[in-house]
Copies of this chain bind each other. A is one copy, B any other.
Amino acid sequence: MKIGFIGLGSMGVGMARNLMRASHTITVYNRTRAKAEAFGKEGAAVANTPAEAAREAEAVFTMLADDTAVEEVVLGPDGIASALPVGSIHLSCSTISVLFARKLAEEHGNRNQGFVSSPVFGRPDAAEAKRLLVILAGDQKLIERCRPLAEAIGRQTFVLGSQPWHANALKLCGNFMIVSMIEAFGEAFAVMRKTGIQEQQFLNVMAELFGSPVYKNYGTTIVERNFEPAGFALKLGLKDVRQALELGGEVGAPMPLASILRDQFVSALAHGQETLDWSSVALVAARAAGLDSKSAA
């Protein structure tokens, strides 16, 4: 298939590469052109604008940081919406708000372009290794056409109903599940340290108890204070928690635990952690307990 791919950040690079490995023809665009050029050497065509990447595409992916970035690339000057052929599909993989997902669906619909929300779960190494989980929501026929693309970038595909924004809602709640685990670790680690038990000892038990690579990997990142470079930046984590709360507010579901998370993230930002990995929010609990938040000792 002829595919456009917008956004060659740490996630996008692996995803675009796997699309090429699946023998699709890729045209990439990235705001910082150097990344696109580098990628061009791997066999992709390099576009000068999002529109150029979309013009002849059957499908165009976006994998960007937030609503604002996606809006610029889709609806801004030389944006995807201005060029994507009628009947072609925009697959939006970014973690965006449900409100904005609805707007995208409407804008593409008005232009007779297809829109499928396709957020993914997984960190950069999973993107590279084709180990992502891909959530698809949108028109049933469009989804069938997207399925091989989802399978090219992930290990499993989950299909929801016809409302694209449902996929974004699920993604936000999934991220909320992960941050809840991080905060629980943060509080438990603080109690353990003040009790005189090493964080690593507690982690060993939890890794075995939950039997989950997610617990093991995040737990280890926190114990080792291995927050740079960020797999997912804390300020983006806060954005996701906020959007989960907004979603809950809109549909009428209180999320007291998410509210706690929001406050911990705000405190983390107030202490200069915005570019650290989001798992560093665990340090807020340490600080509240009067502990040195830098080391686990």
Instruction: Please indicate which of the listed interface residues A194, A254, A272 has the most CB atoms of chain B within 10 Å of its own CB.
Output: A254
Copies of this chain in its oligomeric complex:
4
Residues of B within 8 A of A178 (CB): 209
How far is it, in angstroms, between the C-alpha of A133 and the C-alpha of B201 when the chains are bound?
13
Whether the pair A176, B170 counts as a contact (CB closer than 8 A) is no
Whether the pair B205, A158 counts as a contact (CB closer than 8 A) is yes
Partner of A289, one of B208, B254, B260, B264: B254
**A74 interface residue per 8 A CB criterion:** no
Residues of B within 8 A of A271 (CB): 290
Q: Check A187/B176 contact, CB under 8 A, given A158-B201, A169-B197, A254-B264.
A: yes
Query: What 0/1 pattern do residues 103 to 123 of A give for CB contact below 8 A with B?
Result: 000000000000000000100
Residues of B within 8 A of A177 (CB): 181, 184-185, 188, 206, 209-210
**A244 interface residue per 8 A CB criterion:** yes
Stretch of A1-9, A63-71, A160-168 that contacts chain B: A160-168
Residues of B within 8 A of A248 (CB): 187, 190-191, 266
Stretch of A33-41, A42-50, A54-62, A212-220 that contacts chain B: A212-220
**A152 interface residue per 8 A CB criterion:** no
Residues of B within 8 A of A121 (CB): 205, 209
**A174 interface residue per 8 A CB criterion:** yes
Q: Check A184/B195 contact, CB under 8 A, given A249-B262, A266-B248, A285-B253.
A: no
Residues of B within 8 A of A208 (CB): 133, 156
How far is it, in angstroms, between the C-alpha of A248 and the C-alpha of B188 when the chains are bound?
9
Query: What 0/1 pattern do residues 253 to 294 of A give for CB contact below 8 A with B?
Result: 111111110111011011110000000000011011110000
Whether the pair B285, A270 counts as a contact (CB closer than 8 A) is no
Partner of A191, one of B163, B173, B187, B259: B173
Chain B: minimal CB distance from A223 (Å): 14
Residues of B within 8 A of A262 (CB): 245, 249, 254, 259
Residues of B within 8 A of A212 (CB): 210-212, 214-215
**A226 interface residue per 8 A CB criterion:** no
**Can you name 4 extra interface pairs (CB under 8 A) apart from A135-B205, A255-B285?**
A166-B196, A176-B187, A184-B257, A191-B248
